[in-house]
Amino acid sequence: MNLNYAIFRSEPIMTINDLAQIGSHNKREKKAYNSNLDIDIERSKDNMELISLSDKYVKGFYNVVKAYKKEHEERMKTEREDRKKTFKQMLDKSNNVVADELLFTATNEFFKDMTREDIKDWADTCIEFVYEDLGYTKEQVLHATVHLDEKTPHIHCVVVPLVKKFDKRTNTERYTISKKQYIKDKIHLSELQDKYHKRLTDKGYDLERGIKGSDRKHIKIKDYKKINRKLEENLNIRNNRLDKAINEFDEKMKTTKNIPFNKNQVIVNKDTFDTMNKIVKESKKVIELQPKINEVFNEISGYASGYKSLENENKNIKREVQVLEYKNNQLEKENNKLNDKIQRVIKAIKQFFRKLLQIGAEYIKGYAEEEVKQYYDNKDFKMLDVKDVAKGTSREDELFEYANVPDQYRTIRTPLYDDECEDNYNIYDYEEYDDGIDKDDDMGMSL
C-alpha cells in the first residue's frame, strides 16, 4: 500500500517583521541557509514564480493595503495624542493577522517522475483553489512560488485578507484585515481541505485526503511520537504472539515426523491437529492486522515528509523531525520483518494444506479444501496460491474451479492402461511439476 496525501495548510503572519522574514525565505534572499540543510541553494534558480513580486514583501504589502493605510492615517488626524498609532503599530498590536501564508504540498512519492511542466500543472490547480474555493482575488495575492530546491516540492502562497466591513461603532464601512472572512474556524478549514482534495482528484491526481480533524499545524511532534509508540506496541504484541505460535508449531511438527503414514493417509493426533489450527488462526490475525499497520505507517511517513519540508526553518522542530524520521526508519524495519514473517507463515500454511490434500484422510481433505476456500474468500490466498496448494491433488478440480484457476495450470493426466482400463476406474499418471513449495514427505515444515 503506497498512499500519497494532499496537504494544504494555513499559517497566520502576525507582524510586519514576520512578513519580512517570510519574504526573505520564500524569495531566497538570504546568502546562506546554514539553519536549513535541506535547501540546495544551487537549485534555487529552478524555483517557479506562480505570482511574481519584484519588490520586497513589506513594500508589496503596503501597495496592497494603501487604501487601508490612507483611511487609518485620516482617522489618526482626529485621534487623541495618547491614542495615536502609526499604521505599522496598529497592525502589529492588533489581534488580526497582517497576512496569511497558504502552504500546498503532497507526500514526496507523489512528485516522483514528474516533469517541471507536470509540477506547474499541479501548482496551477492549487492557485485555482485559492481563487475559486477560498475566494481571494488576484489583487489580494502578494506572492506565490514553488520551491523545487528542497526534498519535496511545495508552494508558498502569501495572501492579504483585506476586506471592507461594516463598523457598528461608527456606522460606516471600514477596511480591515480579517483571515476569518476566508477561513472561519477549524471546521471550515476541514471543509476547505475536503474541497482542495476534491479539486485535485477531479483533475486526475491520485491523492488521499489528509488526516481529518487535525489543527492548522496538523499532528504535532508529540502526537507523532504517541502514534509511533502505539504502533510499536502493536507490532511487538503481534510478533510475540506469532513467535510463540510458531515455536509451538515447530515442537509439534517434531513429534509429527515420527508418526507413520502411507500414500493414502496420515494419522495426526488431536493435540497436534489443534496446534495446526492454532497457527492457522494466529496467522489470520497477523494478516488482518497488516493493512492497518501499512496504512498508519504510510500516513505517519507522509506527514513526516510534509512536516519536514514546511517547518524546517525552526531548528528545534528540525531536531524533532530527525528523531521522528529515525523512529519511522525503525518502524519500517520492523514492518519489513513482519512482512517477511507473514510470507513465511503463508508458505507454511500452504505446505500444511497441500500435505493434508495429498495424504490426509477424506475428512481431513474436506477440512483442508474448505479452509483453502475461506482463505481465498478473505483474500489471504490469491489465485496462484490456490493453484500451488491444490495442483496434482484429488481436490484440484474443485479448488481450481472455485478460484477460477486457468486451465493451463491443470495437471496433465494420461490413463495408465489406455483402452484396457475398466469404465468404473479412473486411474491416471500425474505429470510432476515444480510448484515452488518445499515438499517434505514427513510433514516437517521449515519456517
HEC string of 63-80 equals HHCHHHHHHHHHHHCCCC
pLDDT of res. 359: 82
**Assessment of whether the complete model's pTM goes beyond 0.75:** no
Cell of 253: 511438527
All residues at 6 or more sequence positions from 398 whose CB lies less than 8 Å from its CB, including other chains: 369, 390
- If one counts every other C-beta atom within 10 angstroms of the C-beta of residue 425, the result is 9
pLDDT of res. 167: 81
pLDDT of res. 358: 87
Cell of 75: 482617522
pLDDT of res. 440: 39
For residue 292, count CB atoms less than 10 angstroms from its CB and return exposed for 0-12, middle for 13-18, buried for 19 or more: exposed
Topology at the third CATH level for domain 5-209: BirA Bifunctional Protein; domain 2 (3.30.930)
User: What is the residue extent of each domain of the chain?
Assistant: 5-209, 221-430
pLDDT of res. 227: 60
pLDDT of res. 267: 55
pLDDT of res. 442: 34
DSSP SS3 for 246: helix
Shortest CA distance to 363 belongs to which of 443, 371, 382? Answer: 371
- If one counts every other C-beta atom within 10 angstroms of the C-beta of residue 162, the result is 20
pLDDT of res. 350: 86
DSSP SS3 for 110: helix
Q: What are the beta bridge partners of residue 266?
A: 261
pLDDT of res. 254: 61
pLDDT of res. 37: 65
Q: Mean pLDDT in each 10-residue stretch from start to end of the chain (447 residues)?
A: 75 92 88 65 88 94 94 89 90 89 89 91 95 94 94 93 86 90 90 92 83 48 58 64 67 56 54 64 60 58 56 56 75 77 81 85 86 87 91 91 90 54 38 40 33
pLDDT of res. 282: 62
The residue to which cell 487609518 is assigned: 72
Spatial separation of the C-alpha atoms in residues 151 and 426, rounded to whole Å? 67
